[in-house]
Amino acid sequence: MSNLNQLKEKIAELKEELRAVIVAHNYQRPEVQDIADFVGDSLELSRKCTEVDAETIAFCGVHFMAETAAILNPNRTVLLAEGSAGCPMADMITVDELREWKRRYPRAAVVCYVNSTAEVKAESDICCTSANGVEVVESVPNDDILFVPDQNLGHYISTQTKKNIILYPGFCIVHHRIKPEQVKLAKKLHPDAQVIVHPECRPEVIDLADAALSTSQMIRYAKESSHQSFIIGTEEGLLHRLRQENPGKSFYLVTDSQICINMKKTTLETLAQTMELRQNMVTVPEAIRIKAKQAVDRMLAISYQVKAKELD
C-alpha cells in the first residue's frame, strides 16, 4: 500500500476511534478537501458544526474557524489540524483596541467579521461572514455600524446599504495584495471571462468585477452561469472545487500569488498527527464563549431567515 493510502487509512481509523467529523475550508489543499466529510465557506462550516453528530470536530482551516466551532459546541472536542494556522487579519484587532473604538463611536452597533478572535466576538453585537454581511448589517436597528476588522469587506457592505459604516483598518494580506492593474491584465488575456472576486479585495478590484462573493457563493455562481470561463480573485485553493464541480469550464487566477500560507499549513500528516495525539485542542473560556456565542447565534438566526426566504 502506498504511503498516501496508509495515511488515509490511518485517518479513517482515527475518525472512528474519536467519533470525529472532519471539516475543511474551501482554501485547504486538494487532498485535505478530498478526505473531509464537509468542505465549505466560513458560514457553512459554522452551521455544519452545530448539526453534526460527532464527539470530535477535526478542523482543517485556521484558528478563528476552529474557535467558532468551539464557541458553538461546548460539549464537543475541537481539534485544529495544524495548531499554528492563524489568520493575520483576525489578529489585526485586539479586544482593547475594539473597546477604544467603541468609546469613540458610542452610538454604533458593532458588527464583527467572523475572521476575528473569540474575545472580539464577545465584545461585538453581531457577527457576519462574507456570505451574509449585507443582511446582517441591515438587520441591526442602529444607523451607525462599527465594522471590524476588515476594511474591504466593510467598504463593500457600505456600497450595498444606506447605513453609515465606520471602517476599522484591518485587511487580508492575500486579497489586499491583488491590484486593479492585475485584474485589467487578466481581463485582456481572457476577454470572455467573468471576473468573480472575494469582498476582502480592495474596492478598486471589486469595481472591476462582475460579482463579489464568498467562496461557496463563487462555486454556485460559476455552476449557474452560462459563461464558460472565469477569472478568480480569491485564494487558489478554491480552484479545486471550482474545477471538480464544473468540468468543462475554465478558471484562471488574477495573479500567481493568491496563496494563504496559513491555510496551506494543514496536510494529511498534520491532520493524522493531531487526531492521533489529540493535540491542538481549541477551547474558549466560558465567560467569553457565552458572550461570543450570542454574536454568532444572532448571525446564524439572520442567515437561517435568508435561507428560508431563498427557498420560498
Binding site for ligand 13P (CB under 6 A): 26, 41-42, 115, 129-130, 172, 198, 200, 214-215
Pairing of strands 144-148, 109-113: parallel
Crossing angle of the two packed helices 3-18 and 268-277, in degrees rounded to 10: 40
Determine the number of helices (DSSP H) and then strands (DSSP E) in the chain.
Answer: 15, 12
66 binds ligand SF4 (CB under 6 A): no
CB of 106 to ligand SF4, least distance (A): 29
CB of 234 to ligand 13P, least distance (A): 7
CB of 180 to ligand SF4, least distance (A): 19
Burial class (CB in 10 A: 0-12, 13-18, 19+), 296: buried
Q: Are 217 and 131 in contact (CB under 8 A)?
A: yes
260 binds ligand SF4 (CB under 6 A): yes
Question: Which CB, 28 or 139, lies closer to ligand SF4?
Answer: 28
Question: Which CB, 56 or 214, lies closer to ligand SF4?
Answer: 214
Binds ligand SF4 by CB under 6 A, chosen from 11, 49, 87, 205: 87
Binds ligand SF4 by CB under 6 A, chosen from 80, 167, 174, 196: 174
CB of 174 to ligand SF4, least distance (A): 4
Binds ligand SF4 by CB under 6 A, chosen from 20, 49, 72, 89: 89
- Please report which helix (H) or strand (E) contains residue 113, including its range: strand 109-113
For residue 251, how far is the Cα from the chain centroid? 21
CA distance 198 to 191: 20
Radius of gyration of the chain measured on its C-alpha atoms: 19
For residue 262, the partner it binds in ligand 13P, ligand SF4, none, with Cβ less than 5 to 8 A by kind, is ligand SF4
Q: Which residues pair with 126 in a beta bridge?
A: 111
User: Which residue shows C-alpha cell 472565469?
Assistant: 230
Binds ligand SF4 by CB under 6 A, chosen from 37, 47, 83, 88: 88
For the segment 101-120, give every residue that binds ligand SF4 (CB under 6 A). Answer: 115
